[in-house]
Chains A and B, each alone.
Chain A
Amino acid sequence: MADANPRPPVIEMRQVCTRFGSHVVHADLDLEVRQGEILAIAGGSGSGKSVLLREMILLQRPTSGTVRLFGEDIATLDEAGRLRLRQRWGVMFQRGGLFSALTVRENVGLPMREHSELEDALIDSIADWKISLTGLPPEAATKMPDELSGGMLKRASLARAIALDPELLFLDEPTSGLDPASSAGVDELILRTHALFGLTIVIVTHDLDLLWQVADRVAVLGEGKVLAIDTMEALSHHAHPIVRGYFLDPRAGKTAAATTHDKETPWKTR
């Protein structure tokens, strides 16, 4: 099947090995993230999803292998190169990662304050707009992070992640700890952001609904490698047991595709 996306991949990982002492997390892992796509990284606990994400955002160095972002090998980057790179992406952490000493508005405005010469009033306006884009009410802007509910916290940290209009967005378990209604809201938010800014999104998740509703492709991690990377429809016929585990709903006794796909598809925006 011809590659429908001729542009170079945004993220390229080749033969990545990660070891902590004697514990091997990744063994010769290959992964490519295409420009403009929403890629989900799934896998059981301990399969190394979060470590892989951390290697992409320069918080962790792989034991061996190459990681290229926007075509540049991150191992060859100097301090200035890393600084440039970090301003091209936004990261939404699992527990929000908002600075507890600042209000939501100050949190969202921080990247702009650090890396631009814009005026404070302008930064505040942009921050307020980003906050409203994520569906938060205007009053949320002056709240402190510990005054926010779980759903609001996720939206606020997404607002900060898109503060600089990044080309690349990383989401670490965006729906963890959320009730179904809030999770559905996060699904919708991710799709809306993608439509609005046309960015490439990498999501680490094991939320089936998110995988079905939002992801263009899903990479399933297991045994230290990417076992399969394809659309959910294609993966549902995959032979590997770990991949199949994502599609067999033991509680319903039938494939998860039947239970989630049919009912939720009507409001899917793609």
Chain B
Amino acid sequence: MTDTDPRSGVPDDTPAPPDSMSAQLHHRDGQWLLSGHWTVHQLGSLPQDLAALDCPPGAVVLDGSALAALDSAGAWLLQGWLRGHQASAELRQWPPRCETLMRLVLDQVATPPPAPPGRGLLARVGRATADAALQAVALLHFVGEVAMAGASTLRHPGRMRWRAMQRNIQLGGFDALPIIGITSFLLGVVVAYQGADQLRHYGANIFVVDLVGYAMLREFAPLMSAIIIAGRSGSAYAAQIGTMVVTEEVDAMRTMAIDPIELLVLPKLLALAVALPLLTVFADLAGVFGGMVMARSQLGIGFHEFIDRFGREMQGATLLIGVGKSLVFAVVIATIGCFQGFRTRGSADSVGRQTTTSVVQSIFLVIVADALFSIAFNMLGL
């Protein structure tokens, strides 16, 4: 037993190391001797060693008299080796339990796992398009339901959940002030800095005021605020509603004749419609302040000069356009967030996916809406 190299199974004269725990396979006198613990923790390098071992096809005698233990991993390893060489096993002097397991494993017919249905590129594109179309229809359906619930709440204002709405304004609006403030300030700094660089060439420093004003109030403040709130509140809405779907709370609501849209969606929608425009104004302030700071440091335009020109040149309409856009963005974000939440299907994984989808979709639609606004305002001459 010890006159073969324990690891490679090749007949060898060097004495085997005294290691009775690890799984070993020796070849001797036309028989294969298994010894040690053929268990998942003790297999060691045997899987690689077995791959290098060759055995003749046909019946192979496996002597298990020195086998201490065998588990599924060991049995399958052996079976795989035998199958790979088209060999069949004859078990001799195996411990009864190990033999039962080995025979069970040997009886398993090797069936390859069913291949997933092949999906050509065209099929995948087609399927994705069909899904997108169905989802668009479902979204329209949802928008209709929300509008109906909104109309019925207008008729019965007592049914409006004011406290839920207040709470959502606090969570979605007030708690977002720091991040909106910081990001807008930094954005204002960046815009002014980039502008300053170019304006300096032409000695047109003072126009940085117009640049910062128009850029922040019309475009950057509403857009950045909407994107940040989409990530913050849009995902929160989707996750909350999605989890309630998974825990059957939404079903419970329906059976208790409570409209989930009235209880869950309307407060969030109205809260965001109030909060986001206010956040946009705050972002305007922070952004213009950032621009002011940069203008002072790079272009030598003092605060008074900046504010003076700002007050003279900027029109109220510019602010209102930005705030108006953010109102539309708020409706988009809240609707998509709640819609994706309701589409959750019964598992934690689904909640995660729907949350992701809601953020990506709302950001995308916000940017599309912004582009459409630009075109519209261009045509209207605003």
Q: Does A99 contact B (CB under 8 A)?
A: yes
Determine which of A58, A95, A96, A98 lies in contact with B255 in the assembled complex, contact meaning CB atoms within 8 Å.
A58
Q: Which residues of B contact A91 (CB under 8 A)?
A: 252, 255-256
On whether the beta carbons of B247 and A97 are closer than 8 Å, the reply is yes
Q: Does B257 contact A (CB under 8 A)?
A: yes
On whether the beta carbons of A57 and B255 are closer than 8 Å, the reply is yes
Interface window among A108-116, A131-139, A235-243: A108-116
Of residues 97 through 138 on chain A, the ones whose CB sits less than 8 Å from some CB of chain B are 97-100, 110-111, 114-115
On whether the beta carbons of B256 and A93 are closer than 8 Å, the reply is no
Q: How far is the CB of B251 from chain A (nearest CB, A)?
A: 6
Q: Which residues of B contact A1 (CB under 8 A)?
A: none
Q: Which residues of A contact B256 (CB under 8 A)?
A: 86, 91, 110-111, 114
Chain A residue at smallest Cβ distance from B253: A99
Of residues 5 through 21 on chain A, the ones whose CB sits less than 8 Å from some CB of chain B are none
Q: How far is the CB of A163 from chain B (nearest CB, A)?
A: 9
Q: Does A89 contact B (CB under 8 A)?
A: yes
Chain B residue at smallest Cβ distance from A170: B255
State which size class the interface on A falls in.
Answer: 20 to 34
Q: Does A182 contact B (CB under 8 A)?
A: no
Q: Does A75 contact B (CB under 8 A)?
A: no
On whether the beta carbons of B248 and A87 are closer than 8 Å, the reply is no
B: number of interface residues (CB 8 Å): 12
If over half of B's interface residues share one DSSP class (helix, strand or loop), that class is named, otherwise mixed; here it is helix
Q: Does B249 contact A (CB under 8 A)?
A: yes
On whether the beta carbons of B249 and A94 are closer than 8 Å, the reply is no
On whether the beta carbons of A100 and B247 are closer than 8 Å, the reply is yes
Q: How far is the CB of B25 from chain A (nearest CB, A)?
A: 41
On whether the beta carbons of B257 and A59 are closer than 8 Å, the reply is no
On whether the beta carbons of B247 and A115 are closer than 8 Å, the reply is no
Q: Which residues of B contact A95 (CB under 8 A)?
A: 247-248
On whether the beta carbons of A93 and B257 are closer than 8 Å, the reply is no
Q: How far is the CB of B357 from chain A (nearest CB, A)?
A: 23
Q: Which residues of A contact B249 (CB under 8 A)?
A: 97-100
Q: How far is the CB of A159 from chain B (nearest CB, A)?
A: 13
Fill in one digit per residue for B144-182: 1 if any A CB lies within 8 Å of its CB, else 0: 000000000000000000000000000000000000000
Of residues 73 through 99 on chain A, the ones whose CB sits less than 8 Å from some CB of chain B are 82-83, 86-87, 89, 91, 93-99
On whether the beta carbons of A83 and B257 are closer than 8 Å, the reply is yes
Q: Does B105 contact A (CB under 8 A)?
A: no
Chain A residue at smallest Cβ distance from B251: A59
Chain B residues within CB distance 8 Å of chain A = 244, 247-249, 251-258
26 A–B pairs (Cβ distance < 8 Å), ordered by A: A58-B254, A59-B251, A59-B254, A59-B255, A82-B257, A83-B257, A86-B257, A87-B257, A91-B255, A91-B256, A93-B248, A93-B251, A93-B252, A94-B248, A95-B247, A96-B247, A96-B248, A97-B247, A97-B249, A97-B252, A98-B252, A99-B253, A100-B244, A114-B256, A114-B257, A115-B257
Q: Which 6 A-B pairs have the closest CB atoms?
A: A97-B252, A86-B257, A97-B248, A91-B255, A93-B248, A83-B257
Chain A residues within CB distance 8 Å of chain B = 57-59, 82-83, 86-87, 89, 91, 93-100, 110-111, 114-115
